[in-house]
Structure 1
């Protein structure tokens, strides 16, 4: 039997726990998003908008509760991170989140902090999520990615970049979006808005970090499939959104990074991408780590880990292509 003292004690415990959680959250450093320099992808309400629009949510979660996750993105934007000494290279960074949220700090802001010292201008994409009621849900993230590439190219002089040196770097589901962009950059998935939409959306190179590259196989990656496609079992549709199948001789050079002990996206996704690139004679560099798990982003591998300097490896790889 539960008496009154037990109930009061439990309530007190919940109060203490809530106070402790609030204190811990208050102790976390603030994450500035969006950065001071940013731009919207669409001049008005994005195409295919539901009514009402999604309600934006900012959530502290992920690695030690210290990450910033975005949900309910109603107006997608691109954050701009400039290096002190730009060299013309630029990267559209596409965070992951299983198409259920956008891990904007761990796989966005932190990545920018690692790449800008190398002279690379970084653009972090906060894209719309397919489960928020948008029309043509499966193409909503791709529309945002294409539009971002075109707007960056249109503003190349303002950003101090070379549009021929603009690539992408995608993580997990953001790697899926990046791989989709590199193979379907020319697909018309939205009606042109302005002159920028006459520019190419093709990336000059593509970095894919623990990417999802197929939705056609069962496994842990099925969560991204469900969120993107709405749980369809249509094999043709699932194949269409499996970008590894679209790799051909026109695919830009690819950089791959994946850990063997990744329990969220099996390393086979990157190995299959490597094989597809080799078969199509696409330039490719692959780094397969023994350990690292999933979601290490720009800075969350432990010090001394063999993959810890991976942003430097990526920066050197891009420099080797444009040196």
Structure 2
């Protein structure tokens, strides 16, 4: 008896189960901009029948505010978010970031850098895509005599890294032109966000990242780092960020107010409207137990505006 070879769609492997995440930084209480990211990532996960994980991104310890992580978790729980598994905390995972850095060192993908910010500014005429300076590659071929390493940088190629964002569409970035070799271990001994987020997404088995568009320009760096560590790349969807009247992203630095738990479904409905969804008044004014089932059924990422920032007015 001959065995037929499957063809077409039946021969394709099934995609892995959906695993999304929300990863706030505990630099202050949860504000409306962070709530929008939480709502978007949560609904996309639940609408796909997937899991939604939580991660506290406190790898940048100087920016961490004592008690903020617990306050964020209490706020999410109060709004009816239900996460899967234990909450991952970056500050407890430094050994994993160290292991990833060592792996890159052994592969000669990273190198020590002695440059100060002032020295980089003196030799780099180009602004990077995220507002800093493009690293000019001063230490790429080795440290000059008498210089000691301050940081470790990842080598980047003179080639375009491209991906299809589920909201923003086609994204292309030449890493060498946009940022240059970027830091994985800072001069103050802190592991960089780019390294921590890549290691953690892989460890948590994240298949879909839904987050604010302020991180869109970081994504090619993360994809390049995933390739260097032989890790899978999730899909990406970058939501528009909430801005104030001055066009600034809501944040602790722009004095964003904490969300009011007593507002209940009304503030969640406002977040969903910001993401392009019409919410009936009876849902907006109703209890949380009615909001979430309706919102999960109504969610469509195609309705989310493909814009960088929106002021809710």
TM-score when scaled to structure 1? 0.30
Please say which structure displays the higher CA radius of gyration: 2
TM-score when scaled to structure 2? 0.30
